[in-house]
Each structure stands twice: as structure tokens, then as C-alpha cells.
Structure 1
């Protein structure tokens, strides 16, 4: 049992409140998963300044020395940004910290995740001060792998893209072997990482997000609710049985998704929102 939350803001006047709203949503899902948590934030001017690439590192960064780079340390999570292309910053971090876990990378994306109670982690990150136009969060109750930072969600394995998951993939080991045969490298034993890397590989092959998720539904067995975010989109899909809970709310100012309605009640204008449960295997997507 895990908790998923996501918020896609349409009204720029709400951008300064993204972190505050996301914190409230995430903490409401603490009872669905109290062993670890993570968030992905798009567009924060401190963590991901315009014109900078951002890489989030889990683990020590004492040996990291990159010209013009800024390191923001938030407990075990370190946000590194620099005015250079994403590929260049990512290569430099990997070269200098070969054993480090890369939690996320991109031009607008910052990923923070760790072991601990969601409320404590959100407070330690200062999540309520974050700004931006989109955020995704996950609280975890580990069932498929160990309680470690590498096992926490989100899984952000492509540039400015991430995935969170509630449920279980039954045939993830088989798909993992197929992806490894294509040269895909994994950071954990978590089944969710297999789904994330499958979607990322599909996008790298030229597919759009909706097509990638259709392929995932066709190839993955199990039960799941997925929320996939990119630098310009926000998408939700459930398996054919749809046994994992999910609710979507939409207004002119925002679109939000959560595992339970109670995570949405603090959003401005919720009383006027169109609220519905996503249908099985139907892909819901919103573009910036």
C-alpha cells in the first residue's frame, strides 16, 4: 500500500504555492506509506534555476568539484545545478562520484527522496517553500524491495521525466532482463524502476508518453496506478482491473491526482472541481 499525489498547475498565480500545496497532499498520504517518500518538483527557481541543468544525488558529495556548480544539501539529498547542458552536468557528476545514486536530472526537474516518515522528510527538505508549475509525490510502504533511498519513489530515469507507482508488476523480472539486454542499467531491485525505465526507453525510441503507457499496459502484468510526469505533461493510467485507488480532480486553475480524495481537500477551489475516478487502462494526460 503506497500513496500517490500529483499537481499540475494551470494558473501561474499559484506557482509560488506549489510546495505548500504539494506538502499538504503528500502528508495526507503518510498513512499509506511511512517508511520512505519522495517528490519531483518542476520549475523551482532555487533548485532548478532558469538556464541551469539540475542533478539530484543521494549520498556523499564531498569529492564533487564542478566549475560554476552550486550544491544544495538537504540531508542525504544533494541538489546540484550549473549553467551547462544536462548531459554535461550528468557526465561530470557520474565521473566524479561513480558510486553515487542519481535520483533525477533535467532542466526543470528536481527529485528529492529518502528513507523516513513523509512529514519529517518534507520538513527537512523545506518542501513547503518550493515553487513551480508541477509536482509529483509518493509515500511508500515497501513490499517489493528493501527500505532504501534507491527503493523510494519517484523513479526519474529520463531527462525531466519521472514515474510513481502504487501496486505491483507480476512480470517485472522478465521485462528487466529484456531491458538489460538492450543495455539498460538499473539502480535497484524495485519493480517500479522497471516500469520507469520501460517508459523512458519508449520515449527515447521516439514514442510519446501516451503511446509508451499503452505499450506498458500491453506488456506488464499486475495491478497498478501510475502517474508519469514530464517537462510539459502529466499522465495517469490504471491497470485493467483498476483495484488500486485513484481519484482525479480538475479545475481551470489546476489538475490533481491522488490515491485518496482526502489528499485533495486542501486545494483551492476543490468544491467546484470536476472529480472522477479514472477508468481502467484509459490514459489521462494533460499538457502544459
Structure 2
């Protein structure tokens, strides 16, 4: 089942309303995924510092101790702010260095995302409750993607919720199932990727991050995934510059795209788009099988 949504704002004047526009879209997908939800937000003001979004189930986790240890090792201060069970870290180190330090020194803490623009938040519960916990309606940025999950083949956990981030400022949400993710995961681990869950969607995100690290453009990486990933899927992929949509060559999972002069949005079902401003004048279509659709700041 599961539901996915994405919203990219062409009109910079709408960026202060991003969360308020996005929230109803994700909430509308609740009956497709009532057990957990997550979302990725790309802030418009890209920081010169790297940042990491982290999760620990203990809302009283001592993030000060973690950041002090990280600051000592990096020789530069790492700041943090709490967001419920999550924390956002900011520092002068590279995003890759922050992720590597966390994997080696705090393996029990889950790395939700790393990058300069991206933040990922996810939790167990109804999508509306999850978004309320993190204050989505007040969030500002250039684009967001989100996912509502119905865990039919795995446990209901925060770690298993989407989106997944495996490369700097890249994240993925997925509706469907992959059949060759275990063999692909072994290959990617030999290439140095580290996975935190057994979720096939994390493998898909890792595959795209690996392709990008080899020099491929996002469109090329997604086109290669049509060949290399077996199964059925609709992907929505976020990057610092925009977002992209891809359905597998059979396209058995639903998806619809709407584009106006001010924004472009996608969802598993049209009802998630119905309350967007100006949707009555938007161009609406069903994305073709095996075809990459992408939008960006350029």
C-alpha cells in the first residue's frame, strides 16, 4: 500500500508556506499508510555548514555529550537543536565526515539525513500526529517529499519509515517492493555503503547515491535503476536542486503529477493534490512507465 507525495515550489514567494501546503497532502494519504510517516524538507537557505538529522527513541538523549565528543574530534564546534526524538547537528566538517563519525562512534544513533539543505523527520503514528509533533505547518523551504507507511512485510518502527537518505542531500520515498535488493545490498556494501535497516527502499536510495558518486546525473542514475532494480515501484527522489519521479516499466503502483505556474506536485492519488492553490488550472497527468520526470531550481 503506502502513499507518497512531493511538492516543489517554483514561486519563491510561496516558500514560507511550504509546510502549510504540504501538510494536507501527506495527511490525505493516511489511509494508504496509517502506521508511520516521514518527510524530507529542503531548506531554501543552503548552509555553508554541513548538518545531520539524527534520531534516538529516548527524548531525553544527551545530544550535548555527543556533540562535545564530535567537536573534540573535529577540532571545531558542532551545535545542535532538539526536535522531539530527533536532533539537528550543524558543523564545519563535511557531511560525509559527520556521517562516518556517527557510524563509527555512535552506532546506536540513527542517521536520518546528512547534507547542507536536507532534513528528514519520521516517526510511528498517524501522519497528522507525526507532522504535528515536528511542526510541519510552520516549516519553510523550497520543496518537500513525504511518505505514509503500511508495513505489510516488516515491523512498524521509526527506522523503517521513509524517506531514506544515503548520500549527501539525496533522499527517496518508495511505494512498492523490490525483489533483488539483497544481492544489490551486498554489492553496495562492498562499495563501502553502510545500511541501517533491512528495508528495500534504503537499498534503492543507496543505489542512487552510489550511481551519483560514480559521476552519473540523477536522470541517468534513475534510468539505470530501471535496468538494475527488479520489482514494482514508484519512486520520488529529492535532491538539493529539486525532485524527480519514476515508475517501473509496468507501472502497477499509482501516481499522478500536477503542474501549475507556481508549483509542481506528485502524489499516489489525486485527492492529495486537490487542495493546492490553483490546482484547477494545473496540468494533470499520470506519469508514463519507466520514464523519469524531474524539476529543479534551474
TM-score (norm 2): 0.91
Question: Cα distance 1:191–1:92, how it changes in 2: closer, same or farther (>3 A)?
Answer: closer
1:144 CA displacement: 3.4
Q: Which residue of structure 2 lines up, in the alignment, with residue 145 of structure 1?
A: 154
- Structure 1, unaligned runs of 5 or more: none
Residue 184 of structure 2 is aligned to residue 183 of structure 1: no
Question: Cα distance 1:61–1:198, how it changes in 2: closer, same or farther (>3 A)?
Answer: farther
1:22 CA displacement: 1.2
Preserved CA contact (<8 Å) 1:104 1:156: yes
Residue 228 of structure 2 is aligned to residue 228 of structure 1: no
Residue 293 of structure 2 is aligned to residue 284 of structure 1: yes
Q: Which residue of structure 2 lines up, in the alignment, with residue 77 of structure 1?
A: 86
Preserved CA contact (<8 Å) 1:44 1:130: no
Question: Cα distance 1:259–1:189, how it changes in 2: closer, same or farther (>3 A)?
Answer: same
Q: State the number of aligned residues.
A: 285
Output the aligned Cα RMSD.
1.7
1:217 CA displacement: 0.7
Question: Cα distance 1:29–1:19, how it changes in 2: closer, same or farther (>3 A)?
Answer: same
Preserved CA contact (<8 Å) 2:96 2:168: no
The CA deviation string for residues 259-282 of structure 1, in whole angstroms up to 9 with x for no partner, is 011111121110100000000001
1:95 CA displacement: 5.3
Question: Cα distance 1:87–1:172, how it changes in 2: closer, same or farther (>3 A)?
Answer: closer
Residue 119 of structure 2 is aligned to residue 110 of structure 1: yes
CA distance in 2: counterparts of 1:83 and 1:6, whole angstroms: 30
CA distance in 2: counterparts of 1:205 and 1:81, whole angstroms: 27
Please, which moves more after superposition, 262-271 or 170-179? Answer: 170-179
- Structure 2, unaligned runs of 5 or more: none
Secondary structure in 1 matching 2:287: coil
Preserved CA contact (<8 Å) 1:144 1:190: no
